[in-house]
Amino acid sequence: MSQPQFKQMRRAYGFDDVAIVPGGHHTINPDLVEMSFTLGKLEFQLPFVAAAMDGVVDVRMATEFSKFGGLAVLNLEGVQTRYEDPDPVLAEIAAASKEEVTALMQKVYSAPINPNLVGERIRQIKANGGVAAVSATPMNTKKFAPLAAEAGVDVFVVQATVTSARHISRSEKGLIFDELVKNMRDVPVVVGNTVTFSATKELMETGIAGVLIGVGPGAACTSREVLGIGVPQVTATIDAAAARDTYYRETGRYVPIITDGGIGNGGAMCKSFAAGADAVMLGSILAATQEAPGRGHHWGMATPHGELPRGTRVKVRIDTTLKQTLFGPTSRTDGRENLVGALRTAMGTCGARTIRDFQKTEMVIAPAIKTEGKSYQIAQG
């Protein structure tokens, strides 16, 4: 009689479970480290991507973020393309009570998308001197990608809660990434989100330029509560980085991975890179800036879903600027400002001259990393 087969589980780790081991054979002056990020033929001074959330990125934010050296992604299925003037709508969402806001957003997002605004927003960003990156769900990609390409988009992101290279549906012919990459020509196509080695590698084999990593860790996302799905970000990033490195050894083509979600401070950001990320996607930490359009609020793309909302509106205090968040100076000690300085210092302390070097830094499982020796801080809040 054969023995029954039992499902095996492995331990997975998030940001609070691990620590970066400093001080290898040498350290480096933080001013000497190199942190640029390459996507297709585009190079960015900062390895930071602003999330495609209506409360985080509009035309103004996309432009400013570009000028500071990062990449901001505009949501093509949000208020920016449903309303000629989205500001009053954003103000109404920000002013709504907690009990009313989800129903209000379901109503707001039931307005049809105006295809003309897809190209108009892209042209506005480029006219202001910004890099135009936009995001669409797989369902609408075939419709919006040609409009975006015609308007001169610089980066096109296909984003869903979970994305795979192969999708089974009732559609006779769904979205095929190989064809999308070919049709977009020189425009880098980034796809997400994934959390596994196999899914990440299969997506890379379609020819895309980058992969977003993370399911459910974002401050505004409730997929883990509603659907029970997800993998803690450190483990997800390590597995995806292994897929990237394997694919690179096999093909000679390097496809960067972008850790997306759960990065609320400099420590989590630095751990993302040490785990293998080439760039990080930021949401809530940018929503607290004066430049963000959400008026101190942000929410995910699945929050206003008509039947199964998988997100919530998160309130953050507007107490900083985009420049301070990225470059400081800062007088706070919570790690939410001067992200560039934090990354430079962590890299220098670990002797990493480049992001690729930093990816090789040793990490340890350290659940007490935030509490060890911190009794006074904990007692005093």
User: What residue ranges define each of the domains in the chain, with the CATH number in brackets?
Assistant: 44-320 (3.20.20.70)
pLDDT at 161: 66
Task: Name the DSSP letter for residue 71.
Answer: E
Q: Which of 71, 36, 40 is nearest to 354 (CA)?
A: 36
- How far apart, in whole angstroms, are the C-alpha atoms of residue 381 and residue 35? 34
- How far apart, in whole angstroms, are the C-alpha atoms of residue 176 and residue 40? 19
- How far apart, in whole angstroms, are the C-alpha atoms of residue 147 and residue 267? 39
- How far apart, in whole angstroms, are the C-alpha atoms of residue 156 and residue 188? 6
Q: What is the mean pLDDT of residues 49-64?
A: 96
pLDDT at 168: 45
pLDDT tens digits, one per residue of 273-299: 999 999 999 999 999 999 999 999 888
Higher pLDDT, 158 or 169: 158
Type of residue found at 18: V
Q: How many CA within 13 A on the CB side of residue 364?
A: 6
pTM of the model: 0.92
pLDDT at 311: 67
Count of helix runs (H) and strand runs (E) in the chain:
16, 14
- How far apart, in whole angstroms, are the C-alpha atoms of residue 5 and residue 102? 43
Taking each helix axis from N to C end, the angle separating 115-127 and 59-67, rounded to the nearest 10 degrees, works out to: 30
The CA distances from residue 82 to 89, 98, 124, 308, in Å, are 10, 23, 16, 21
Q: What is the mean pLDDT of residues 247-266?
A: 96
pLDDT class of 300 with cuts at 50, 70, 90: confident
Q: What are phi and psi of 266, to 5 degrees?
A: -65, -35
Question: Is a pLDDT exceeding 90 seen at residue 199?
Answer: yes
Is the Cα torsion angle 266, 271, 276, 280 positive or negative in sign? negative
pLDDT class of 200 with cuts at 50, 70, 90: very high
Give the residues across from 282 on adjacent strands. 50
Q: How many CA within 13 A on the CB side of residue 277?
A: 29
* % of the chain at pLDDT higher than 70: 88
Both tokens assigned to 283? 């949401």
pLDDT at 283: 93
